[in-house]
Structure 1
């Protein structure tokens, strides 16, 4: 990312203009006309993902200097570095950056949430080019037109042989670069400089915006996943056909969140299953492809996570314990790593939900029809291999 800064000779007001990959910070004299003008362009090198933090001192940032007007007795193109620094020593951009960053949160969150879906769609379009005959006429035509457009655009020398995916990633990375840029700017701004306080404020806002974008983006992605799953469950075979709304706010753990999903098999018979874990319950289903779309029918009723334990990850197998009905289901994942990840995610979710339920019951708060849960001591014994048929602890 480069920053272009243009200032009038006598002015110190700044404005920010976003221009592609450049953030232009222009300063101008609001009072007067006919003043002498010079231009300073400096490059602030930001970090690549996971790279080293950028460090660009103000006095090392000069890249080019425009010429002053003919009336100026001092030729700006021949200025020394000290003259340039003196010329711009009172230029301030911190307040401009603060105002510029305040509008980022909502737009960047929406974009970040949709970014992964866009990448997945482009991948689907590119991979389907060799088998377009398997798709409907409308889909085939749309994919073919998009492919031709992409191929034509990617041959343009201006894109430097980069794919659209690379450009779609830039806005996602950009919001994370601003804190690094402002941190470096603050580092090389003296405390007695008039811009020091405003740059510090802009840095604080940039950090808050990045955090808020992450939070909102995660929320949007979660809601998208819940909506997708909502349409793939075969509710006719679940709870007498009564639909369970996935995207909802639960009394126990707040907003329902998707945790993970994936194929599993019964260790005894090899029957193919598909498990879906949320923060408040888990579904064990059988999957079926209908009309090109995967649908899921329940293999077991939903298991509340506070009634759930996962234990004994051995190679690619683990046991799923339903404390409510004392059922132990032996499952097999595709790899030992996946089995271990399932156990970790199930136990993390189950422990949190169990703790929240215990706190609610202890406080006399009614969050469901449940009036008791198994004791922590009993849970520990079961995790060590004990039988799940144990007494519950009442509150």
Structure 2
């Protein structure tokens, strides 16, 4: 499946957005919202991040082998609601989301006085999200190494035996 668990990622972000709205309306700590969701962010992002490269390869392969899929992508690329972007460009968005959130939280922390209750919560949330991002990057690196190894093994298995 090309889209993996993107719907699950989307729903988690909707939940986080709702929690942020409530936090703002109740003068609660924004950092606590991200702290509360860090484990879930790791859980839902792991499979998506892990197989992102394979997903992009599958999209490009389908584009080349299936003319209807290619035509459909070209139609979609011209739609303004998709930002006139290729599907592969849109698929990177979830992977870019966590670093973007981290940058926003770091900027928010910069302008949050140390006397505010949210200052420590933001600091903790940033640390936790950095940890999540690091784990996702490590996991992606492991997957890339495994896929590379499988590719090498497969090429050896398919190597023709030549006797002279």
TM bucket, shorter chain: 0.7 to 0.9
Give 3-state SS (helix, strand or coil) of 2:85's partner. coil
Query: Are the equivalent residues in 1 in contact too, given 2:76–2:84 (CA < 8 A)?
Result: no
CA distance in structure 1 between the aligned counterparts of 2:100 and 2:122, rounded to whole angstroms = 15
Q: Does residue 62 of structure 2 align to residue 125 of structure 1?
A: yes
Question: Could you say what secondary structure the match of 2:156 adopts?
Answer: coil
Give the Cα–Cα distance (whole angstroms) in 1 for the partners of residues 12 and 53 of structure 2: 28
TM-score (norm 2): 0.76
CA RMSD of aligned residues (A): 2.9
1:117-266 counterparts in 2 under 5 A?
117-126=54-63, 128=64, 140=65, 143-234=66-157
For residues 224 and 186 of structure 1, the distance between their equivalents in structure 2, rounded to whole angstroms, comes to 39
Is the helix fraction higher in 1 or 2?
A: 2
Structure of higher CA gyration radius: 1
1:207 offset after TM fit, Å? 0.8
Stretches of structure 2 lacking an aligned partner (at least 5 in a row): 1-10
Deviation at 1:17, TM superposition (A): 6.3
1:190 partner SS:
coil
* Structure 1 spans left out of the alignment, 5+ residues: 1-15, 29-39, 41-87, 129-139, 235-294, 300-395
Return the structure number with greater relative CO, CA threshold 8 A, min gap 6: 2
| 203-212 vs 177-186, which moves further | 177-186
Distance 1:106 1:227, change over 3 A: farther
> CA offset at residue 200 of structure 1?
1.0
Name the structure 1 match of 2:41.
104
Higher strand share: 1
TM-score by length of 1: 0.34
8 Å CA contact 2:35–2:128 kept in 1: the answer is yes
Cα drift, residue 233 of structure 1: 1.2
Runs of 4+ in 1 over 4 A off after TM superposition: none
Secondary structure (helix, strand or coil) at the match of 2:121 reads helix
